[in-house]
Chain A
Amino acid sequence: MKKEDTVKLISAEGFEFVIDKKAAMVSQTIRNMLTSPGSFAETEHGEVTFPEISTTILEKICQYFYWSLQYASGKETEFHIEPELTLELMMAANYLHT
């Protein structure tokens, strides 16, 4: 996979998730960061840091991005959300517009 096709999402604890750009674009917020004109650090390095989102939640978010792509292409599987994660995930999803 070429570097320009991926983005690196960094959690509050500093864990790095490298995912397809296409998947990350599911989030309106990330899409805006990566495509906005001007030379934001995010646009240049393909790296976004989320100091408010914990590793567990960011992992779940990444899973959701891929699930969402599948869902959009017609593959209807269940996306299970553990009740413990619902609140934080909800707030992260709200922030990411996804």
Chain B
Amino acid sequence: MTGTVAPGRVERPPSVIGGVLLMWVRALTGGFAILTVVLSWDSFVGTIVVNGEKLARSDPQAAGAVLGWLLAAYGLYLVLYLGLAVLVFTGHNWARVVAMSFASVSILLSFADYALNGAQITLRTSLVSVTIDILILLALSSTQARHYARAARASRA
């Protein structure tokens, strides 16, 4: 049903498939954010502040470089994240643990912001990304997903 990459006789549970799909959605929204920045490059370059001063005013080239590096780093992270999703899909337990750790850190940071700083988490702000993170964590921490990763490891050994 789910392709030939399934290790051994273990069938890939829906929670793993759902979790990996959500990881892809998360990465794609990141890619969309990069696209948005690139399309309105100038206005974003203008927002870069170093030592309390807008960098674009004193050194427009440096500001562009900073933004470029930031985007490149984020893009690299997204690519690695997509790779991680593939490894989760093929049943690598460490990849599942790393993915759950990413989701947990992101959730806990959002929660700290919400509980301590009273940040509003709504559809207009970060509700969608928080929802996706929580769903990823729920899916990948499920008993099915755990058994799948363990069984896949056993069949590789």
B is a partner of A? no
